[in-house]
């Protein structure tokens, strides 16, 4: 791979780690081997500090630059981009908050290679806003009590971010992963993204430093963060599409048998209909990536500190771009992951190849969040000039 840089970060080491992840992805999938060492290697290479400002030890890169890395990582192993999503969202939140000693402490921790995992959603309840986890005050000290699910990445984390009701709204609080009273287990049972450890976390009388309680009082920030974290999902989709295009070309190139109905008994490599499928999948992957890069540009236009374009128009454009990308990439990826086998053969359904992981992972990541609601968001905005219901913090699952 060519040596490139992202702002102040040498990307060569990240590329090397991603290449090793690609080579071992099928082995992990078959053995259900959680990627603890792989996450640590990625973070050590600097992937968690890409968006951390340079003054805190990070690269200070743009979201467009981040997108290119995420797509390559998802093409190697899409479990890893899912694991990174929470961390990247928290860094984005911290970047846009007013500077304080606590914000600077956390950004500095991320800049030196510490990793943040989420504990936001809970099972049961009438909605994602229904939270039983509580922040209790005892003689001026604060303690967490409760249970979370969809804690993707927290099993591997140095810090855990926990969502709690707070002062009539919500707050995110940070605690160290090894704090007494925290227990995290891998009980994720989904048919896709099996290696993300998106399981249960329990908090029993876990003390929280008061300065590490961050209320969601900035509505613009609360609306921007879900658009950003959805962008990470869309990047994962684009990476899976890229891997589908690469794998289908490899599969067709290695095929030696054809079907009786094939035209002129052509080899698969020369069969125009098979080549059409390969081209359609590659074209779809190109579109999925282009969508993500356009999405990144809209997010950058709102969040870039140089442009300082944190205007209502820039925020609305970012939300629309994020929503539209989710809608289109979800449809694209569903078609591509199914169409893949039209150019392959029955032998490619063997479990040993683990090619089914592309479809399973695609469907699972595309379920966060349902594209039907993202489509409605775009349609409502275009017709009414406003967004329907709640698009602020809390509308994200997982």
**Where does the pLDDT of residue 266 fall: very low under 50, low under 70, confident under 90, or very high at 90 and above?**
confident
User: What value does the mean pLDDT take over residues 74-93?
Assistant: 97
pLDDT of 23 reads: 95
pLDDT of 397 reads: 42
Residue 2 has pLDDT above 60, yes or no: no
Q: For the residues of 100-137, what is the DSSP string, one character each?
A: -HHHHHHHHHHHTT--EEEE---SSSSSTT----EEEE
Other beta carbons within 10 Å of 179: 14
Distance between CA atoms of residues 5 and 61, nearest Å = 10
pTM, two decimals, is 0.93
pLDDT of 307 reads: 62
Residue 386 has pLDDT above 60, yes or no: yes
The strand pair at 182-184 and 169-176 is best described as: unpaired
pLDDT of 5 reads: 56
Distance between CA atoms of residues 309 and 96, nearest Å = 12
**Where does the pLDDT of residue 7 fall: very low under 50, low under 70, confident under 90, or very high at 90 and above?**
low
More confident residue, 392 or 41: 41
Residue 398 has pLDDT above 80, yes or no: no
Give tens-digit pLDDT for 221-263.
999 999 999 999 999 999 999 999 999 999 999 988 888 778 7
pLDDT of 9 reads: 66
Closest CA to 164 of 155, 176, 173: 173
Give tens-digit pLDDT for 98-123.
999 999 999 999 999 999 999 999 98
**Where does the pLDDT of residue 8 fall: very low under 50, low under 70, confident under 90, or very high at 90 and above?**
low
Burial class (CB in 10 A: 0-12, 13-18, 19+), 265: exposed
pLDDT of 6 reads: 65
pLDDT of 292 reads: 98
Distance between CA atoms of residues 57 and 43, nearest Å = 13
What are the backbone dihedrals phi and psi of residue 115, each rounded to the nearest 5 degrees, phi first?
A: -120, 140
Burial class (CB in 10 A: 0-12, 13-18, 19+), 123: exposed
User: Assign residue 63 a region: left if phi > 0, alpha if psi is -120 to 50, beta otherwise?
Assistant: alpha
Residue 314 has pLDDT above 60, yes or no: yes
- Set out the domains of the chain in order of their start, with CATH numbers: 5-114 (1.10.540.10), 118-215 (2.40.110.10), 219-384 (1.20.140.10)
The two three-digit tokens of residue 47, written as one number: 């992937």
Residue 4 has pLDDT above 60, yes or no: no
Distance between CA atoms of residues 34 and 275, nearest Å = 36
Find the range with the poorest average confidence among 16-25, 64-73, 255-264, 353-362.
255-264
**Where does the pLDDT of residue 390 fall: very low under 50, low under 70, confident under 90, or very high at 90 and above?**
low
Distance between CA atoms of residues 102 and 51, nearest Å = 18
């Amino acid at each position: 791979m060519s040596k490139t840089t992202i702002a102040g970060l040498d990307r060569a080491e990240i590329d090397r780690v991603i290449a090793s992840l690609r080579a071992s992805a099928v082995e992990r999938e078959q053995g259900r081997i959680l990627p603890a060492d792989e996450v640590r290697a990625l973070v050590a290479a600097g992937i968690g500090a890409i968006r951390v400002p340079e003054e805190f030890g990070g690269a200070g890169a743009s979201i467009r630059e981040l997108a290119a890395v995420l797509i390559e990582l998802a093409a190697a192993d899409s479990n890893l981009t899912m694991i990174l999503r929470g961390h990247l969202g928290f860094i984005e939140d911290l970047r846009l908050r007013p500077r304080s000693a606590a914000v600077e402490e956390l950004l500095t921790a991320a800049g030196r290679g510490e990793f943040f995992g989420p504990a936001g959603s809970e099972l049961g309840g009438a909605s994602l806003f229904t939270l039983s986890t509580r922040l209790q005050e005892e003689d001026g000290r604060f303690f967490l009590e409760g249970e979370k699910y969809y804690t993707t990445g927290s099993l591997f984390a140095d810090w855990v971010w926990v969502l709690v009701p707070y002062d009539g709204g919500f707050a995110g609080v940070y605690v160290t992963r090894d704090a007494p009273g925290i227990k995290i287990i891998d009980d994720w049972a989904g048919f896709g993204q099996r290696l993300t450890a998106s399981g249960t976390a329990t908090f029993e009388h876990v003390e929280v430093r008061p300065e590490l309680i961050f209320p969601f009082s900035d509505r613009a920030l609360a609306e921007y963060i879900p658009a950003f974290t959805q962008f990470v999902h869309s990047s994962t989709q684009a990476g899976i599409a890229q891997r589908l295009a690469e794998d289908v070309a490899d599969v067709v190139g290695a095929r030696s048998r054809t079907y009786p109905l094939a035209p002129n008994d052509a080899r698969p490599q020369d069969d125009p209909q098979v080549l059409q499928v390969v081209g359609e999948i590659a074209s779809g992957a190109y579109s999925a990536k282009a969508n993500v890069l356009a999405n990144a540009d809209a997010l950058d236009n709102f969040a870039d500190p140089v442009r300082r374009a944190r205007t209502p128009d820039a925020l609305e454009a970012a939300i629309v771009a994020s929503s539209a990308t989710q809608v289109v990439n979800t449809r694209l990826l569903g078609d591509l992951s199914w169409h893949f086998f039209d150019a392959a053969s029955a032998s490619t359904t063997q479990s040993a190849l683990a090619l089914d992981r592309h479809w399973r992972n695609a469907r699972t990541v595309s379920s966060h969040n349902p594209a039907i609601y993202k489509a409605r968001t775009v349609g409502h905005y275009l017709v009414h000039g406003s967004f329907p219901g709640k698009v602020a913090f809390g509308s994200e699952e997982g």
